[in-house]
């Protein structure tokens, strides 16, 4: 199973988001570029970046930083946040150097955008992010309901030619309480989509639970907080050697 580390960027800094609430956002590091390089040194094969300023405000303040990250590491970078049009997706590919983009519920209101990205760039260049709360897809900071279930959303995306989704239960994000395995299983067994699981992974035991599903299309997982807080035993040695500043003492915002 491929492990994809997550860097959430706000105001050009790494942050942790808990349940989508701004008041529970905590800064981890002033240097996202160094964190990206650290993850590469730890031998990860891909990187996920969420541009929170773009997602919430449509702000491009982090674009130079994202471009610098993609140029500085030799692994694919996927980008989420604010990708609401074909033109923005094209810009991310051509100008920011990202490997693929993540599109959320914009896919429901603008399916033609999805078709065009697939037609012009291939279905490997786009992933649909499915954020759930109480069996309903949520949007706009995870506070509004899209009135469609994760499974129905997944099936609809499959009809558009999408091959991969990222699924997460947003109530588990940043809480280290484990992913919503039952929903992962439901989507996996009722579609042919490849699934990247996100939200709630706490340690190797959660990885084992996902692996033990023995469902081939559940093939990857995204991890944020558990990596920053060294929940995997091998990390402490690497980070002692590197002495990279990933501080948990910075003020909450």
What is the reported pTM?
A: 0.88
Res. 230 pLDDT band, cuts 50 70 90 = confident
* Tens-digit pLDDT profile for residues 51-98: 999 988 889 999 999 999 999 999 999 999 999 999 999 999 999 999
Pick the catalytic residue from 59, 74, 120, 131.
131
User: Lowest-pLDDT range, 58-72, 138-152, 189-203?
Assistant: 138-152
* Mean pLDDT across 28-36: 87
pLDDT of residue 246: 40
pLDDT of residue 95: 97
User: Lowest-pLDDT range, 119-133, 135-149, 171-185, 234-248?
Assistant: 234-248
Tell me how many degrees the CA angle 45-131-185 measures, rounded to the nearest 5: 75
- On the question of pLDDT at 233 being above 80, the answer is no
* Mean pLDDT across 215-237: 83
* Mean pLDDT across 19-39: 74
- On the question of pLDDT at 249 being above 50, the answer is no
pLDDT of residue 222: 95
* Mean pLDDT across 157-164: 97
Pick the catalytic residue from 8, 51, 53, 169.
8
- For residue 120, give every residue at least 6 positions away whose Cβ sits within 8 Å of its Cβ, in sequence order, or none: 90
- Domains belonging to the chain, first-starting first, are 2-242 (3.20.20.70)
The pairing of strands 164-169 and 218-223 is unpaired
- For residue 141, give every residue at least 6 positions away whose Cβ sits within 8 Å of its Cβ, in sequence order, or none: 20, 56
- For residue 171, give every residue at least 6 positions away whose Cβ sits within 8 Å of its Cβ, in sequence order, or none: 19, 133
pLDDT of residue 239: 52
* Mean pLDDT across 90-111: 95
- On the question of pLDDT at 171 being above 50, the answer is yes
pLDDT of residue 29: 76
Is 131 marked active-site?
yes
Handedness of CA 117, 197, 184, 167 (dihedral sign): negative
- On the question of pLDDT at 245 being above 50, the answer is no
d(CA 163, CA 133): 23
Structure tokens at 244: 């990279």
Is 182 marked active-site?
no
- On the question of pLDDT at 142 being above 80, the answer is no
d(CA 184, CA 166): 10
| Burial (0-12, 13-18, 19+ Cβ within 10 Å), 212 | exposed
Res. 244 pLDDT band, cuts 50 70 90 = very low
- On the question of pLDDT at 131 being above 80, the answer is yes
């Amino acid at each position: 199973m491929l492990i994809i580390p997550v860097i959430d960027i706000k105001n050009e800094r790494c942050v942790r988001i808990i349940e989508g609430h701004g008041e529970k956002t905590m800064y981890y590091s002033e240097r996202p570029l160094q964190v990206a390089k650290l993850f590469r040194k730890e031998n990860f094969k891909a990187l996920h970046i969420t541009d929170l300023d773009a997602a919430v405000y449509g702000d491009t303040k982090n674009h130079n930083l994202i471009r610098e990250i993609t140029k500085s590491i030799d692994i694919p970078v996927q980008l989420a946040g604010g990708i609401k049009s074909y033109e923005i997706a094209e810009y991310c590919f051509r100008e920011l150097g990202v490997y693929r983009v993540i599109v959320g519920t914009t896919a429901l209101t603008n399916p033609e955008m999805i078709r065009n990205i697939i037609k012009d760039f291939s279905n490997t260049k786009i992933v649909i992010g499915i954020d759930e709360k109480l069996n309903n897809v949520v949007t706009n900071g995870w506070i509004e309901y899209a009135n469609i279930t994760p499974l129905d959303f997944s099936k609809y995306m499959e009809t558009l030619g999408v091959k991969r989704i990222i699924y997460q239960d947003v109530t588990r994000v940043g809480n280290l309480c484990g992913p919503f395995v039952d929903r992962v299983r439901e989507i996996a067994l009722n579609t042919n989509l490849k699934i990247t699981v996100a939200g709630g992974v706490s340690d190797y035991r959660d990885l084992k639970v996902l692996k033990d599903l023995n469902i081939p299309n559940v093939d990857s997982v995204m991890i944020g907080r558990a990596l920053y807080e060294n929940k995997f035993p091998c990390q402490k040695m690497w980070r002692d050697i590197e002495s990279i500043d990933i501080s948990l003492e910075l003020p909450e915002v």
